[in-house]
Each structure stands twice: as C-alpha cells, then as structure tokens.
C-alpha cells in the first residue's frame, strides 16, 4: 500500500522542482534575463522597471569594481560645543578650530551583480590653529554595502548601509572668549560609532563629445550611534586605457556630525566650568574633492 507524502517531503519536492526550472537553458529571445518562470509570472513587466531579476549565467560584475584614493578641501560651516550647564560655545572661536581642514581617503568597492561591498579609510582631523589646543577627529575605517534596487543600462538606484568602526572625538582646550578673564577647560568628548542608511543614484548617459562620463549622487542619514548625515554629487570622467578604466571624480559633498557623551573633564586654572555636565559636539562641513580610481 503506497504511503502518502508528508508535508515536509512535498515542500522539498516543490523546492527541487523550482530549482530545476530555474536552471533550464535561457530562451533565445530579446535577451531576456528572466527564467522560464517568466511565462507564469509577470517577471518581464517588472524587469522593464527594475532591470534583470536573474543574472545571466552567474553573479558577474555589472558596474565595475574600483580602488582609489581621494582628497577633500573642507569648509567648516559650524562647530558647536553645547554643555548642559554651560550653554553653547562656537568652537571656531573657543577652540580656534581651523576652518579649512583637509580630508584624505583610501577606498575599495567590489561589485557583484546588484551587490556592492565597500571599505574606506579616512584621515579627517579639524585641528586648532594653536598648538596643543585640541581637535575634532573623525578618522578611521568604515565599511558598507550597496544593493541596486533598480539596475537599468543607463541608471542604477539603490539602498546602502554604512558602519563606522571608530569613535568621533573632540579633545582639547576650550575657552569662553566673552568672559574676562578667560574661563578655560580641558575636555574629551567621545561619541559612539555611527551607523547610517542611505540611497544612491548612478546615471550613465551616452558619451558626451566622445568622452565617457557618468554622474553619481548619494544621501545618508543616521540610524544608530553618533548622528552622521551626508549627501553629495560626483561627476566621474573615465577614459579607457587598455584593460583598465582610470577615473577622475569631482565631488561636492556636505557632512553633518553630532555626538555626545558623559566625558571625564580636567579643569585648567581659572574659573572652573560647572562640573558633571553633559557635552555635545555639533559639526558641519562643506567639501570639494577629487578622487582618482581604477576600475577593473
């Protein structure tokens, strides 16, 4: 007497059958990327709007991977230190912060079909113009991932996640420049590691005057830790040389960083600031940069 199939066996059979159909040879029409299941589901209609759902053959690079380095000239637009008892101080005056700091990046981006894996090491310090007076340090390694929700021949639109593996920090001497004599205090304010979600766009128009060019834009917003917000636009020039494409990216970017902690404070001679208060650092930069990259 034949045994009835169990629900688990039926589920396994359906999964195996589905994988079999997905592995069948691709039909030869119109360069469709969908599997034979496209005849049963509106996959081709969906592909019209978001691009191929299934890669051809295997997971291969779409927009090519890259490695490179970058340089930014930043313009410090805001630098506030806010004490729960002391009130708000402008660090451009109170700590004599440099209003034109520099930023250096070394980065890599590995692209596999719709997925991108990124890593970037940044050196970015906004230092005081006076020796030993302090700095805001936002240097270290951050990693991230991208996913192309829309992947058309001329346009990619996706979502990203970034995690910073370091703590933003302000460390140094602050003075109340409106008081006489100066009220000075030495502080260390270290925030938690930022996490940011974002979206991005890549537009690849036809060659302009025979020169390959594409445009990139992004927006990142905070979800955890120190509040990191950044958005920008890049114009990417990529002349081809043999098997590699060299790229030069002109980048315009705005970055906002806010972090706080319960710091350990050491008070300098003079009028001591109120003890046991919380401090918050609020920074904002405009940036103009140039990246040099190699696509492979």
Query: What was the pLDDT predicted at 178?
Result: 54
Alpha carbon distance 256, 251 (integer Å): 16
More confident residue, 255 or 237: 255
More confident residue, 143 or 5: 143
What is 230-269 written as a DSSP string? EEEEEEEE--EETTEEEEEEEEEEEEEEEEEE----EEPS
- 217 within 8 A of 233, measured Cβ to Cβ: yes
Q: Which of the four pLDDT bands, split at 50, 70 and 90, describes residue 226?
A: very high
Q: Which of the four pLDDT bands, split at 50, 70 and 90, describes residue 79?
A: very high
Query: What was the pLDDT predicted at 83?
Result: 82
Share of the chain above pLDDT 70, in %: 67
Specify the pairing of strand 134-137 against strand 155-164.
unpaired
Question: CA dist 130 to 94, 218, 268, Å?
Answer: 11, 35, 16
Alpha carbon distance 194, 214 (integer Å): 29
To which residue do tokens 């834009």 refer?
217
Summarize pLDDT for 83-131 with one digit per residue, the tens: 877 788 899 988 889 999 999 999 999 988 888 999 999 999 999 988 7
- Dihedral sign (CA 270, 274, 280, 283): negative
The DSSP bridge partners found for residue 220 are: 198, 230
């Amino acid at each position: 007497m034949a045994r009835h199939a169990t629900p688990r066996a039926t589920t396994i059979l359906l999964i195996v059958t589905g994988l079999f159909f997905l592995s069948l040879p691709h039909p030869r029409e119109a360069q469709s990327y969908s599997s034979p299941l496209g005849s049963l589901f509106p996959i081709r209609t969906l592909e019209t709007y978001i691009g191929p759902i299934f890669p051809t053959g295997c997971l291969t690079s779409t927009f090519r991977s890259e490695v490179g380095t970058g340089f930014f000239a930043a313009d410090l637009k805001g630098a506030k230190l806010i004490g729960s008892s002391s009130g708000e101080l402008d660090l451009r005056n109170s700590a004599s912060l440099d209003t034109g700091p520099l930023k250096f990046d070394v980065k890599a981006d590995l692209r596999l079909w719709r997925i991108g894996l990124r890593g970037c090491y940044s050196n970015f310090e906004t230092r005081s113009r006076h020796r030993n007076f302090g700095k805001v340090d936002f240097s270290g390694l951050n990693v991230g991932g991208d996913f192309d929700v829309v992947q058309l021949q001329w346009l990619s639109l996706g979502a990203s996640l970034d995690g910073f593996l370091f703590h933003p920090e302000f460390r140094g001497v602050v003075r109340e420049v409106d008081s006489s004599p100066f009220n000075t205090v030495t502080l260390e304010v270290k925030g938690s590691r930022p996490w940011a979600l974002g979206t991005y766009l890549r537009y690849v128009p036809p060659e302009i005057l025979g020169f390959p060019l594409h445009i990139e834009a992004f927006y990142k917003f905070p979800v955890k830790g120190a509040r990191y917000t950044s958005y920008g636009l890049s114009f990417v020039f990529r002349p081809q040389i043999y098997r590699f494409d060299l790229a030069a990216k002109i980048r315009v970017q705005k970055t906002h960083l806010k972090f706080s902690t319960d710091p350990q404070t050491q008070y300098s001679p003079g009028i001591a600031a109120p003890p046991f208060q919380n401090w918050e650092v609020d920074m904002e930069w405009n940036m103009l940069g140039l990246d040099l990259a190699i696509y492979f």
